[in-house]
Each structure stands twice: as C-alpha cells, then as structure tokens.
C-alpha cells in the first residue's frame, strides 16, 4: 500500500476510518459514488470489507468474490 500511495504519477488514495453513510451507486460514467463522513468519493473500484449480514445491500452482479 505504501508503494501504491507514493508511486510517481499514481492515483491511489487510502481512506481509513471513513464510514460510508449511504449505499454506493454508479454514476453515468460508471464510477462508484460513495457518500462518506468526509464528503463524496468517486472510484473505479471499491473494496468492500463487511460480514455476511450485509449481503442484501448489493446486487450479486456488482460484487466480485475473490479467494
């Protein structure tokens, strides 16, 4: 993560302790828009860290499971 953040020309940002306050939605350009306590964020890709109790919040087509 440190390498990604400090890479020249990189466009990587890491937000810690930034709760998402609404369900993420895709905008007209296909970017995810997340409403957070620090304001809206847009991203091509979002990593969702959660537990099994929130699966009802997202369409399965929006999620990619990794092993």
pLDDT (tens digit, 9 = 90+) per residue, 2-61? 888 788 887 777 777 888 888 888 999 999 999 988 899 998 888 777 776 666 666 666
pLDDT of residue 66: 47
pTM: 0.58
- Measure the CA–CA gap between 7 and 5, rounded to whole angstroms: 6
Do residues 36 and 21 touch, judged by C-beta distance below 8 A?
Answer: yes
Assigned domain for 65 exists: no
Give the neighbor-by-neighbor strand order of the sheet with 32-36: 25-26, 32-36, 39-43
pLDDT of residue 67: 41
pLDDT of residue 40: 92
pLDDT of residue 9: 82
Assigned domain for 23 exists: yes
Q: Which ranges constitute the DSSP H helices of the chain?
A: 2-6
Residues spanned by the domain of 28: 19-56
- Measure the CA–CA gap between 20 and 66, rounded to whole angstroms: 22
Assigned domain for 3 exists: no
Number of domains into which the chain is organized: 1
pLDDT of residue 32: 92
């Amino acid at each position: 993560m440190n390498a990604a953040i400090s890479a020249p020309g990189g466009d990587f940002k890491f937000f810690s302790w930034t709760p998402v306050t609404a369900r993420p939605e895709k905008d007209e350009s296909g970017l995810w828009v997340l409403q957070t306590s620090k304001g809206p964020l847009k991203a091509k890709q979002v990593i969702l860290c959660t537990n099994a109790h929130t699966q009802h919040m997202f369409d399965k087509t929006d999620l990619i499971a990794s092993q």
